[in-house]
C-alpha cells in the first residue's frame, strides 16, 4: 500500500531519497511521557512491597491507570514519528507529517539557494542533524529537526538541484522570428533533434506535459 506522500507526486516525478526524523526524536520529544512511564513503573513495583489493604489497592489502581496512559502517549508519539515522510525528488523537497490530519509542505529545487546543516557530536556519530533550507534571499523556508541521514539528505537535494539546472540549461529557447522579420528558420533535422531532447527532458520529469507541448509547437513553428 503506497504511503500518503506517494500520492502527492506529479507525473514524471521520482523519489531520490526518503527519510524521517532520527528515532532519537521519539525520546527527546517524548521526555514527559517517558518520565511518567518510568516513575509510575517504579511506584507500581513499590506497591508490591506495601501491606495488603485498601491503600495499596487504591494506589495500585491509580498508578496502573497512569502507566497505561503514558504507554498510549508513547504509542502516539511513535505513530507520529512513523507517519513522517521527508523526501527528495527530482523536482522538489517534500515534507509530510500527521497521523490522521496530514500536513504537507514542499520546496521547489529551483527556488532553493543553499542549505545549512548543524550537527552536534551525537549527531555526527549517529547520522542526524538540523537542516535549514534557504531561499535566494537567505531566508529559511523550512527546518528539518533531528533529520535522519542529514548529510545524505542535503547532498541528494543539492545534486538534484544541479541536475535540474543543467537540464533546464539545454532546453531550446523561444522560436526565432520567421523569414522576412530578421530571423532564420530551423531545418527539419534540427527540429527533430530538438524534439528528441525535449522528449527526454519530459520523460525525466524536468518538463511537464504542458511545457513539452508548448515548446513542441514553438519548435514546429521554426520549420
Question: What secondary structure does DSSP assign to the chain, as a single string?
Answer: ---GGGGGPPTT--EEEEE-B-THHHHHTTHHHHHHHHHHHHHHHHHHTSPSSHHHHHHHHHHHHHHHHHHHHHHHHHHHHHT-EEEEESSEEEEEE-SSS-EEEEEEGGGEEEEEEE--HHHHHHTEEEEEEEETTS-EEEEEEEEETHHHHHHHHHHHHHHHHHHHHTS--SPPPPTTTT--PPPHHHHHHHHHHHHHHHHHTSS-HHHHHHHHHHHHTT-
**Which residue ranges of the chain lie beneath pLDDT 70?**
51, 53, 136-141, 167-186, 204-207, 222-223
**In this predicted structure, what is the pLDDT of residue 115?**
87
pLDDT digits (tens, 9 = 90+) for 194-215: 777 777 777 766 667 777 788 8
Q: What is the mean pLDDT of the chain?
A: 83
**Cell 521527508 -> residue:** 86
CB 83 within 8 A of CB 99: yes
pLDDT digits (tens, 9 = 90+) for 156-178: 999 998 888 776 655 555 554 44
CB 117 within 8 A of CB 140: no
**Cell 504511503 -> residue:** 3
**In this predicted structure, what is the pLDDT of residue 196?**
78
The four Cα atoms 221, 194, 157, 149 give a dihedral, to 10 degrees, of 140
Amino acid at each position: 500500500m503506497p504511503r500518503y506522500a506517494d500520492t502527492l507526486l506529479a507525473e514524471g516525478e521520482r523519489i531520490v531519497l526518503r527519510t524521517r526524523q532520527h528515532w532519537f526524536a521519539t525520546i527527546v520529544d517524548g521526555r514527559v511521557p517517558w518520565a511518567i512511564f518510568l516513575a509510575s513503573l517504579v511506584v507500581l513495583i513499590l506497591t508490591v512491597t506495601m501491606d495488603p489493604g485498601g491503600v495499596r489497592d487504591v494506589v495500585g489502581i491509580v498508578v496502573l491507570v497512569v502507566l497505561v496512559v503514558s504507554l498510549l502517549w508513547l504509542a502516539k508519539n511513535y505513530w507520529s514519528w512513523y507517519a513522517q515522510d521527508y523526501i527528495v525528488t527530482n523536482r522538489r523537497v517534500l515534507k509530510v507529517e500527521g497521523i490522521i490530519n496530514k500536513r504537507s509542505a514542499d520546496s521547489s529545487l529551483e527556488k532553493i539557494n543553499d542549505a545549512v546543516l548543524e550537527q552536534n557530536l551525537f549527531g555526527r556519530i549517529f547520522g542526524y542533524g538540523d537542516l535549514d533550507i534557504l531561499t535566494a534571499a537567505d531566508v529559511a523556508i523550512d527546518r528539518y529537526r533531528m533529520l535522519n541521514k542529514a548529510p545524505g539528505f542535503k547532498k541528494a537535494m543539492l545534486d538534484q538541484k544541479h541536475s535540474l539546472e543543467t537540464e533546464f540549461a539545454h532546453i531550446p529557447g523561444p522560436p526565432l522570428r520567421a523569414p522576412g522579420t530578421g530571423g532564420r528558420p530551423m531545418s527539419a533535422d534540427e527540429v527533430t533533434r530538438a524534439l528528441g531532447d525535449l522528449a527526454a527532458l519530459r520523460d525525466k520529469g524536468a518538463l511537464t506535459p504542458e511545457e513539452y507541448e508548448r515548446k513542441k509547437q514553438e519548435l514546429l513553428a521554426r520549420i
